């Protein structure tokens, strides 16, 4: 039996952020909450399978069953080789080894990329040698958590239908215990080199020489690649939180806690800075004065640059239900339409493909450059933004001029179960009251997280006092009804 560290994550994350989106009917809020994990799937959420490492669904038995189910699926479709990647959590190694053993038991070969950003695995999966990519990471979650993200040969996250097929197999296979022997192998350095060469090629011809930037790796996957990449491109990087120890990933640093990065930008005299999350698929930036630049502002900067160069065709940017109304208004003034999806870069990409949009992303810092990648890539997001600075000669603070964010409050409530919101009468009445008061000047969105046992309450409006009062009232009602 594998030795697995067990721990409990009892610290709900509650944050307040500052941007706003258009009026969406109350029933739309219901649809969003149910779409995002209200008992639709048992294992897969909006970003793969996630949980506390060592506990279901990330106990050794289930992890082994996941690998077997994936191996059987690949065999049925004539594919026989997988690339494996991981972040810096102490649990990532045994999860990768267990997956390697289960894939091998089904005759599926694998190559290990070792510690690498999630978008690196997505990129490598698109290569001719691999049928799929599997990344072990819980992204921005604390070290106790982990996850399994699966990409197909196109570098895309699995469609819902395939996830549903795998879920049935995983449930059936869980009765088989994993073997005691695992297949530990050394990472192939050529896989890292391939990913870094791809990123460098995306920025070919851009002069970053001497550009001083602060880089916060969140003690996560970016620690293995960021400094080498930035130096290769000519930057002068000031590295932060790039010494992972298995437990310090995302701990008071990175994209969830970018204040230290922003302060270092000012202290070091850098022109800008970037903070990644644990698996480096998202990026939060800071300008020279320490002002934070979130995903919404990055989308505006990128959209303007693509439009100037004639590469934003059709003139569409894809956001989510969390995207601030300020971005939509700023884009509209420049003849660019914003389309919205449920939360999750998987759904953003699906809409991009359906509409032909070349740019999409989330306020949290997941940004997808459709001409370059099939998923959010924090390294690419930072480089594309710094590219605009280099080419225009303008400081980062000026590039998102015209973006006026409406007050927005996001509260996270840890819940014991995900009951459809419409069945919680007290919560429903408070949402209806808030929407009646805000009318066309604001918006209320209540949904469940697809990756954690959390209910998320978002309220935004022109009045910050109204936003705060309504959000807290709804959050308290949720806590009373289904809180842990």
Tokens representing 416 are 């014991």
DSSP letter string, 218-268: TTSGGGGTHHHHHHHTT-EEEEES----SS-TTSS-GGGSTHHHHHHHHHH
Q: List residues bridging with 224 in a β-sheet.
A: none
The Cα 441–Cα 449 span in angstroms is 26
Active site residue 154: no
Tokens representing 9 are 């994550």
Tokens representing 235 are 């930057």
What's the Cα-to-Cα distance from 288 to each of 227, 263, 343, rounded to whole Å? 20, 10, 30
Number of helical (H) and strand (E) elements in the chain, helices listed first: 15, 18
Q: What are phi and psi of 410, to 5 degrees?
A: -120, 120
The residue from 29, 92, 102, 139 that is catalytic is: 139
Using CA atoms of 344, 346, 347, 349 in order, give the dihedral in degrees to the nearest 10.
Answer: 120
The answer for residues whose C-beta is within 8 angstroms of residue 204's C-beta and 6 or more apart is none
DSSP 8-state secondary structure symbol assigned to residue 154: T
Q: Give the end-to-end CA distance of the chain in Å, rounded to a whole number.
A: 32
Q: List residues bridging with 212 in a β-sheet.
A: 236
What's the Cα-to-Cα distance from 393 to each of 16, 200, 275, 389, rounded to whole Å? 32, 21, 22, 5
Longest Cα–Cα distance in the chain: 61
Beta strand 212-216 with 272-276: parallel, antiparallel or unpaired? parallel
Catalytic positions: 139
């Amino acid at each position: 039996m594998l030795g697995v560290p067990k721990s409990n994550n009892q610290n709900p994350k509650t944050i307040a952020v500052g941007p706003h989106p258009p009026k969406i009917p109350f029933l739309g809020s219901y649809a969003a909450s149910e779409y995002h994990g209200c008992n639709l799937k048992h294992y897969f959420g909006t970003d793969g399978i996630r949980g506390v490492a060592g506990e279901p669904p990330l106990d050794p038995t289930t992890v082994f069953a996941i690998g077997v189910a994936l191996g059987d699926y690949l065999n049925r479709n004539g594919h026989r080789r997988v690339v494996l990647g991981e972040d810096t959590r102490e649990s990532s190694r045994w999860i990768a080894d267990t997956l390697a053993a289960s894939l091998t038991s089904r005759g599926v070969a694998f190559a290990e990329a070792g510690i690498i950003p999630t978008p690196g695995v997505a990129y490598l999966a698109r290569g001719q040698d691999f049928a799929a990519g599997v990344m072990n990471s819980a992204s921005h979650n604390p070290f106790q958590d982990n996850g399994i993200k699966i990409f197909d040969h196109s570098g895309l996250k699995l469609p819902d239908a395939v996830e549903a097929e795998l879920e049935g197999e995983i449930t059936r296979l869980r009765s088989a215990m994993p073997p005691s022997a695992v297949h530990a192998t050394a990472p192939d350095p050529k896989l890292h080199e391939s990913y870094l060469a791809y990123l460098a090629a995306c920025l070919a011809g851009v002069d970053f020489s001497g550009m001083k930037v602060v880089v916060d790796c969140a003690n996560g996957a970016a620690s293995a690649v960021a400094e080498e990449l930035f130096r290769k491109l000519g930057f002068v990087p000031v590295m932060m939180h790039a010494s992972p120890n298995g437990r310090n990933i995302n701990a008071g640093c990175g994209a969830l806690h970018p204040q230290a990065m922003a302060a270092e930008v000012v202290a070091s005299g850098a022109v800008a800075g970037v903070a990644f999350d644990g698996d480096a698929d998202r990026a939060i930036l800071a300008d020279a004065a320490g002002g934070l630049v979130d995903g919404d502002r990055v989308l505006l900067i990128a959209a303007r640059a693509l439009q100037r160069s004639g590469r934003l065709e059709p003139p569409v940017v894809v956001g989510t239900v969390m995207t601030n109304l300020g971005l939509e208004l700023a884009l509209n003034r420049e003849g660019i339409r914003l389309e919205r999806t449920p939360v999750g870069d998987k759904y953003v990409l699906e809409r991009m493909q359906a509409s032909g949009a070349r740019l999409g992303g989330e306020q949290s810092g997941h940004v997808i450059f459709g001409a370059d990648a099939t998923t959010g890539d924090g390294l690419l997001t930072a480089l594309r933004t710094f590219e605009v600075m280099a080419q225009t000669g303008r400081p980062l603070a000026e590039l998102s001029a015209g973006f006026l964010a409406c007050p927005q409050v996001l509260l996270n409530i840890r819940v014991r179960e995900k009951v459809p919101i419409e069945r919680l009468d007290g919560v429903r009445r408070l949402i209806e009251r808030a929407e009646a008061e805000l009318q066309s000047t604001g918006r209320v969105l209540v949904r469940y997280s697809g990756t954690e046992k959390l209910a998320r309450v978002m309220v935004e409006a022109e009045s910050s006092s109204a936003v705060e009062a309504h959000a807290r009232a709804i959050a308290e009602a949720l806590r009373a009804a289904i809180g842990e």
